[in-house]
Structure 1
Amino acid sequence: MKRYNKVKKILLLILVVVLVISGGFVLSIRSKLEDFSEEVSSIEVQEIDLSKINDGTYTGKYYVNETVGAIVEVTIKENNITDIIFIEHKYGKGKKAEVITGSVIEEQSLEVDTISGATGSSIVILKAIEDALISSY
């Protein structure tokens, strides 16, 4: 009977340790998500005058942190965006934001709606495109 009580105490102690570690992990992830949301909400994407950009392919990048960022190649022909290719896209849960490139090409503008459920990744992609276009000046 004493051995049974000892085993129960050890198992209970292990359970408590696991719960404490798990709680710390969850709080850490929550804090990172809040930091990301706060940082993304302050980002402004500027409109670019495509008439000032020479034909060519330009590379741009933008990262919010080590888990969300993008490197893109933007091709300009006759003052129009004709193609946007991802060199790298770290997206966390925002992979579906990649379709925003179609809107940018269709609208010939960075002033497009973000992708619902992937707003942060959408903004990161737009900033990478902006960076590519600004580098062309």
Structure 2
Amino acid sequence: MSVLAIVLIIVAIIVAGFFFFAVAGLGKVRRLSIEKIDLTKVEDGVYPGEFKGYRWSNKVEVTVKNHQIVGIKIIKDVTFGMGELSKKLFDQIIQKQSLQVDTVSNATVTCNAYLKAIENALLKGK
């Protein structure tokens, strides 16, 4: 086998690995159900929340005051520089005081990962 053939096989394996990593879990994270949280049962405080699902992994801190979400802070993020997306999503959540918000077009999976991390944080405040 020639050196060129070996190099091509190695490159093909690497490309296949990247492709698998990119799409692994896409459907599962897209179909995540986000629970409706009754904020009247969430005590004041700062709650950490985390979601790990394949390549979508987020840690957030959610601040609740007077049974309202007043702040959401990213602690750890693996969205590759999508800061504007998270700001838009967090603003919607704070404005509506609900996790039942519209996801950002072409970023449903990333939004669901954030929403699940926020849900997990709020569940700690009950």
Q: TM over 0.5, yes or no?
A: yes
Map residues 44-55 of structure 1 onto 2, 5 A cutoff.
Answer: 44-55=33-44
- 1:1-137 alignment runs, 5 A limit: 13-65=2-54, 67-92=55-80, 95-99=83-87, 100-137=89-126
Considering only CA atoms, is the larger Rg found in Structure 1 or Structure 2? 1
Contact 2:71–2:94 under 8 Å retained in 1: yes
Q: d(CA) in 2 for partners of 1:115 and 1:19?
A: 38
SS at match of 1:130: helix
Q: Where does structure 2 lack aligned partners over 5 or more consecutive residues?
A: none
Stretches of 4+ aligned residues off by more than 6 angstroms: none
TM-superposed deviation, 1:58: 0.8
Whose RCO is larger (CA < 8 A, sep 6+)? 2
Q: Which amino acid in 2 is paired with 1:79? A: H
Higher helix fraction: Structure 1 or Structure 2? 1
The TM-score normalised by the length of structure 2 is 0.88
- Structure 1 contact 74–133 (Cα < 8 Å) conserved: yes
Q: Percent same amino acid among aligned pairs?
A: 31
Aligned residues: 125
Mark the CA change 1:93 to 1:44 in structure 2 (over 3 Å): closer, same or farther.
Answer: farther
Unpaired segments ≥5 residues, structure 1: 1-11
